[in-house]
Amino acid sequence: MILIKSKKEIDFIRESSKIVAETLQLVKRYVKPGISTLELDKIAEDYIRSNDAIPAFKGYSQAGSRSFPASICASVDEEVVHGIPGNRILKEGEIISIDIGVLKNHAYGDAALTVAVGNISTEKIKLMEVTEKSLYLGIEQAVAGNHFGDISNAVQTEVEMNGCSVVRDLCGHGVGKYLHEDPQIPNYGKPDTGPKIAEGMVFAIEPMINIGTFEVAVLADGWTIVTADEKPSAHYENTILITANGPEILSLTNDLR
% of the chain with per-residue pLDDT over 90: 95
pLDDT at residue 254, rounded to an integer: 53
Task: Give the model's confidence band at 112: pLDDT under 50 very low, under 70 low, under 90 confident, else very high.
Answer: very high
CA atoms within 13 A on the CB side of 219: 15
pTM of the model: 0.96
pLDDT at 193: 98
The whole-number pLDDT of residue 106 equals: 97
Residues whose CB is less than 8 angstroms from the CB of residue 151 and which lie 6 or more positions away in sequence, other chains included:
138, 139, 141, 142, 172, 185, 205
pLDDT recorded at residue 65: 78
Q: How confident is the model at residue 253 (pLDDT cuts 50, 70, 90)?
A: low
Q: What is the pLDDT of residues 170-212, one digit of tens each?
A: 999 999 999 999 999 999 999 999 999 999 999 999 999 999 9
* Half-sphere exposure in the Cβ direction for 239 (13 Å, CA): 30
Question: What tens digit of pLDDT does each residue of 118-148 get?
Answer: 999 999 999 999 999 999 999 999 999 999 9
Please tell me the predicted confidence (pLDDT) of residue 62: 79
pLDDT (tens digit per residue) in 7-66: 999 999 999 999 999 999 999 999 999 999 999 999 999 999 999 999 999 999 977 779
Task: Tell me the average pLDDT across 155-182.
Answer: 97
* Cα dihedral across residues 217, 219, 224, 230: positive or negative: negative
Backbone angles phi, psi at 76, to 5 degrees: -105, 130
Q: Give yes or no for a cis peptide into 183 (omega within 30° of 0).
A: yes
- Domains along the chain? 7-249 (3.90.230.10)
Confidence of residue 256 (pLDDT cuts 50, 70, 90): very low
- Per-residue 3-state assignment (H helix, E strand, C coil) for the chain: CCCCCCHHHHHHHHHHHHHHHHHHHHHHHHCCCCCEHHHHHHHHHHHHHHCCCEECCCCCCCCCCCCCCCCEEEEECCEEECCCCCCCECCCCCEEEEEEEEEECCEEEEEEEEEECCCCCHHHHHHHHHHHHHHHHHHHCCCCCCEHHHHHHHHHHHHHHCCCEECCCCCEEECCCCCCEEEEECCCCCCCCCCECCCCCEEEECCEEECCCCCEEECCCCCCEEECCCCCEEECEEEEEEECCEEEECCCCCCCC
Is pLDDT above 50 for 257? no
Tell me the average pLDDT across 220-245. Answer: 97
